[in-house]
Amino acid sequence: MYIILAFNEGGGKRYMKPLIGISAGLKENTVLSLHKINYEKISENGGLPIVLPNVIDNELLQAFAEKLDGLLLTGGGDIDPILFGEEPHKDLGEVSPMRDHFEINLTEEMLDLDKPVLGICRGSQVLSVATGGTIYQDIYAQKRGGILQHKQKAPREHASHFVQIAEDSLLYAIVKTNQLKVNTFHHQAIKDVGKNIQISSRANDGVIEAIESNKNAFALGVQWHPEFLNDAASQSIFKAFIGASLTT
């Protein structure tokens, strides 16, 4: 659903922006929570951002999917492990069942309509679970081998570790490099990818850092937070997402 915003001074030419839904946290089931940089990045790159409420009504979910041109799944808390067939690990953090329900079901609807989805951090995990994948409830307790620091103790604008990018991936086509240095703020991570999902990036300790659909035109999840980085690769991710949303 393109939005007509204005006419230029010469008259006649319409400025069209894709409508991008942005997921938000839900505190105590009453208060939506979202860092403003998420909608700023959407508007800076040519999209019209709208913050979405966490609704559970299926008709409303379907209506959102039909109206939106793209979906940004933002970072946040942990995902309820019951959604991928596990009971809670002792190191599981705070979960929001209503947010989980909304985001996973809306993601499924968007994928069915082949509309663009960009998942950031938690959002990449939502993309995996929505397609039948699983996640580590806590990588430090559950993943074998030496683990890098994935919850950095540095400013969010600082890139702290490297990720390797598969050259046959959408992500590579976007960022045009096989290695990036990224920021990191997570203790959960994707374990098994879902149906029609492939791994496009890993950290040097083997942790999955990016996934994408091999069926949909644009469905990408990154474990890091490009919204806080000002490098060219991070900007190109948002530009590619908005560009894909223009074609829906």
Active site residue 225: yes
**Tell me: the pLDDT tens digits for 152-209?**
999 999 999 999 999 999 999 999 999 999 999 999 999 999 999 999 999 999 999 9
- Residue 88 pLDDT more than 90? yes
Write down the mean pLDDT value for the chain: 93
The confidence band for 1, taking pLDDT boundaries of 50, 70 and 90, is low
Q: Quick check: pTM over 0.85?
A: yes
Per-residue pLDDT at 10? 46
Mean predicted confidence (pLDDT) in 50-67? 95
Per-residue pLDDT at 146? 86
Per-residue pLDDT at 27? 81
Residue in 121, 150, 186, 209 annotated catalytic: 121
Residue in 103, 209, 212, 227 annotated catalytic: 227
Residue in 150, 161, 186, 225 annotated catalytic: 225
The confidence band for 248, taking pLDDT boundaries of 50, 70 and 90, is confident
**Answer CATH for 2-245 from 3.40.50.1470, 3.20.20.140, 3.40.50.880, 3.40.50.300:** 3.40.50.880
Closest listed residue to residue 133, CA positions, set 187, 195, 189, 201? 195
**Tell me: the pLDDT tens digits for 111-146?**
999 999 999 999 999 999 999 999 999 999 999 888
